Amino acid sequence: MGLKPVDALTANHFHFEVPGLISPHFHKLEGISKKSGEVFIVDGSTNIKHKFSSQLKDFGDITLTRTLDGSVDDISMRALVDSCLNEGFRFDGNLVKQHNGQEAFRVLFLGLRIKEVQYPSLDTASEERFDIKYVCSVSEWIEL
Protein backbone atom coordinates (compact mmCIF):
# COMPACT_ATOMS: atom_id res chain seq x y z
CA MET A 1 0.00 0.00 0.00
CA GLY A 2 1.38 3.43 -0.97
CA LEU A 3 2.04 6.21 1.47
CA LYS A 4 -0.17 9.28 1.51
CA PRO A 5 1.50 12.57 0.60
CA VAL A 6 2.52 14.68 3.57
CA ASP A 7 2.44 18.08 1.87
CA ALA A 8 2.60 19.65 -1.58
CA LEU A 9 4.70 22.63 -2.57
CA THR A 10 3.04 25.45 -4.48
CA ALA A 11 4.45 27.36 -7.44
CA ASN A 12 4.35 30.65 -5.54
CA HIS A 13 6.30 32.04 -2.54
CA PHE A 14 9.71 32.48 -4.17
CA HIS A 15 12.22 35.21 -4.78
CA PHE A 16 15.07 35.54 -7.25
CA GLU A 17 18.34 37.06 -6.02
CA VAL A 18 20.53 39.03 -8.41
CA PRO A 19 23.83 40.43 -7.04
CA GLY A 20 23.78 44.19 -6.74
CA LEU A 21 19.99 44.55 -6.69
CA ILE A 22 18.22 45.38 -3.47
CA SER A 23 14.87 43.80 -4.26
CA PRO A 24 14.01 43.54 -7.94
CA HIS A 25 10.58 42.02 -7.17
CA PHE A 26 10.48 39.42 -9.92
CA HIS A 27 7.00 37.96 -9.69
CA LYS A 28 7.23 35.33 -12.42
CA LEU A 29 9.94 32.90 -13.50
CA GLU A 30 9.41 30.69 -16.53
CA GLY A 31 11.39 28.11 -18.47
CA ILE A 32 13.63 26.31 -15.99
CA SER A 33 14.75 23.29 -18.00
CA LYS A 34 17.71 21.13 -18.87
CA LYS A 35 18.17 18.32 -21.32
CA SER A 36 20.80 16.03 -22.70
CA GLY A 37 21.72 15.72 -26.35
CA GLU A 38 21.28 12.47 -28.20
CA VAL A 39 23.07 10.43 -30.81
CA PHE A 40 21.77 7.28 -32.44
CA ILE A 41 22.88 4.26 -34.39
CA VAL A 42 20.57 2.41 -36.75
CA ASP A 43 20.85 -1.36 -36.67
CA GLY A 44 20.84 -2.24 -40.38
CA SER A 45 19.48 -5.73 -39.85
CA THR A 46 16.41 -4.64 -37.85
CA ASN A 47 16.07 -0.94 -38.73
CA ILE A 48 15.85 -0.19 -35.02
CA LYS A 49 17.24 3.15 -33.99
CA HIS A 50 19.35 2.76 -30.81
CA LYS A 51 19.62 6.05 -28.92
CA PHE A 52 22.45 7.16 -26.63
CA SER A 53 23.30 10.28 -24.67
CA SER A 54 25.69 12.71 -26.34
CA GLN A 55 26.55 13.85 -22.80
CA LEU A 56 26.10 17.46 -23.93
CA LYS A 57 23.83 19.33 -21.52
CA ASP A 58 21.58 22.13 -22.68
CA PHE A 59 20.08 24.51 -20.14
CA GLY A 60 17.08 26.33 -21.57
CA ASP A 61 16.49 30.07 -21.45
CA ILE A 62 14.57 31.47 -18.49
CA THR A 63 12.26 34.45 -18.45
CA LEU A 64 12.07 36.72 -15.41
CA THR A 65 9.14 39.13 -15.14
CA ARG A 66 8.93 42.20 -12.93
CA THR A 67 6.71 45.24 -12.73
CA LEU A 68 8.18 48.67 -13.35
CA ASP A 69 7.62 50.10 -9.86
CA GLY A 70 9.51 53.40 -9.61
CA SER A 71 12.14 51.95 -7.27
CA VAL A 72 15.92 52.20 -7.54
CA ASP A 73 15.82 48.68 -8.97
CA ASP A 74 14.27 50.05 -12.18
CA ILE A 75 17.52 51.95 -12.76
CA SER A 76 19.67 48.98 -11.66
CA MET A 77 17.84 46.62 -14.02
CA ARG A 78 18.23 49.06 -16.91
CA ALA A 79 22.01 49.19 -16.21
CA LEU A 80 22.19 45.37 -15.97
CA VAL A 81 20.32 45.01 -19.29
CA ASP A 82 22.65 47.51 -20.97
CA SER A 83 25.73 45.63 -19.68
CA CYS A 84 24.39 42.30 -20.92
CA LEU A 85 23.25 43.53 -24.34
CA ASN A 86 26.13 45.89 -25.09
CA GLU A 87 29.09 44.20 -23.39
CA GLY A 88 28.09 40.53 -23.14
CA PHE A 89 28.11 40.73 -19.31
CA ARG A 90 27.08 37.55 -17.48
CA PHE A 91 26.04 37.15 -13.85
CA ASP A 92 24.86 34.49 -11.41
CA GLY A 93 21.51 34.40 -9.63
CA ASN A 94 19.63 32.37 -7.03
CA LEU A 95 16.06 31.16 -7.02
CA VAL A 96 14.95 30.72 -3.42
CA LYS A 97 11.73 28.69 -3.07
CA GLN A 98 9.97 28.89 0.27
CA HIS A 99 7.20 26.80 1.74
CA ASN A 100 5.30 27.64 4.94
CA GLY A 101 7.80 30.42 5.68
CA GLN A 102 10.84 28.16 5.43
CA GLU A 103 13.36 27.77 2.61
CA ALA A 104 12.41 24.59 0.72
CA PHE A 105 15.20 24.62 -1.84
CA ARG A 106 17.50 26.89 -3.79
CA VAL A 107 18.60 26.84 -7.45
CA LEU A 108 21.88 28.50 -8.41
CA PHE A 109 21.90 29.86 -11.97
CA LEU A 110 25.37 30.30 -13.44
CA GLY A 111 26.29 32.46 -16.41
CA LEU A 112 23.00 34.30 -16.84
CA ARG A 113 22.92 36.85 -19.66
CA ILE A 114 19.91 38.98 -20.46
CA LYS A 115 19.52 38.63 -24.21
CA GLU A 116 16.07 40.09 -24.76
CA VAL A 117 13.77 42.58 -23.04
CA GLN A 118 10.03 42.54 -23.75
CA TYR A 119 7.84 45.50 -22.86
CA PRO A 120 4.06 45.12 -22.57
CA SER A 121 1.56 46.31 -25.13
CA LEU A 122 0.34 49.81 -24.34
CA ASP A 123 -3.34 50.63 -24.30
CA THR A 124 -4.91 53.91 -23.13
CA ALA A 125 -7.80 51.96 -21.55
CA SER A 126 -5.62 49.36 -19.82
CA GLU A 127 -5.61 48.74 -16.08
CA GLU A 128 -2.81 46.16 -16.24
CA ARG A 129 0.63 46.37 -14.59
CA PHE A 130 3.60 47.49 -16.69
CA ASP A 131 5.36 44.11 -16.60
CA ILE A 132 8.76 43.79 -18.24
CA LYS A 133 10.06 40.36 -19.27
CA TYR A 134 13.78 39.63 -19.26
CA VAL A 135 14.77 36.60 -21.36
CA CYS A 136 18.08 35.17 -20.09
CA SER A 137 20.40 32.55 -21.49
CA VAL A 138 21.71 30.15 -18.84
CA SER A 139 25.06 28.38 -18.90
CA GLU A 140 24.12 25.98 -16.12
CA TRP A 141 21.91 25.63 -13.07
CA ILE A 142 22.32 23.51 -9.97
CA GLU A 143 19.65 22.63 -7.42
CA LEU A 144 21.18 23.11 -3.97
pLDDT tens digit sequence for 121-140: 999 999 999 999 999 999 99
Q: State the Rg of the chain over Cα.
A: 20
Residue 5 has pLDDT above 90, yes or no: no
- CATH for 14-143, options being 1.25.40, 2.40.10, 2.30.110, 1.20.1260: 2.30.110
Query: Which residues have a Cβ under 8 Å from the Cβ of 67 and sit 6 or more positions away?
Result: 25, 27, 129, 130, 131, 132
Percent of residues in the chain assigned helix, strand, coil, to nearest 5: 10, 50, 40
C-alpha closest to that of 136 among 87, 70, 91: 91
pTM for this entry: 0.89
User: Helix H segments across 9-141?
Assistant: 72-87
